[in-house]
């Protein structure tokens, strides 16, 4: 699928599965998994635990204590808007 939009979406899904799958709850990301993903995939974005807590709370829209795939997609959309300048270059 390479550089197609479908390929990019497959990468995002694979990325979610990779981090969501590290504990027993494989369909969603715990705070630890989200932290790991952000540190690995977007180094420097999260500074400290307080920032992570705020970020996690903002993402966990249904307040069930985990980030589902739907909530993750919202995160990706937000990141794309935040980092738009980077992609424009
Ligand atoms: Ca949730």
CATH number at residue 37: 1.10.238.10
Please give the distance, rounded to the nearest whole angstrom, from the Cα atom of residue 49 to the centre of ligand 1. Answer: 19
What is Dmax (Cα atoms) for the chain? 40
Instruction: Tell me the two tokens of residue 68.
Output: 């589902």
Range of the domain at 22: 5-88
Q: What is the residue-averaged pLDDT of the chain?
A: 93
What is the whole-number distance in angstroms between the Cα of residue 53 and the centre of ligand 1? 14
Cβ-Cβ contacts under 8 Å for 1 (sequence gap 6 or more): 7, 10
Ligand 1 centre distance from Cα of residue 69 (Å): 9
What per-residue confidence (pLDDT) applies to 83?
85
Is residue 2 predicted with pLDDT exceeding 80? Answer: no
What's the pLDDT score for residue 46? 85
Three-state DSSP class for 44? coil
10/25 Cα distance (integer angstroms): 21
* Per-residue model confidence (pLDDT) at position 87: 83
Per-residue pLDDT band at 1 (split at 50, 70, 90): low
In the predicted structure, residue 28 carries a pLDDT above the cut 80 = yes
pTM, full prediction: 0.87
Domain count, the chain: 1
Residue 62 predicted with pLDDT over 70: yes
Is the model's pLDDT at 22 over the cut of 80?
A: yes
């Amino acid at each position: 699928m390479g550089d197609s939009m479908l390929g990019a979406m497959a990468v995002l899904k694979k990325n979610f599965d990779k981090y969501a799958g590290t504990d027993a709850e494989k369909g969603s990301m715990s705070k630890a998994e989200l932290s790991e993903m952000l540190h690995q995939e977007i180094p420097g974005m999260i500074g400290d635990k307080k920032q992570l807590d705020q970020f996690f709370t903002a993402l966990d829209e249904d307040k069930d204590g985990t980030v589902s795939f739907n909530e993750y997609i919202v995160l990706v959309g937000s990141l794309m808007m935040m980092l738009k300048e980077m992609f424009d270059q």
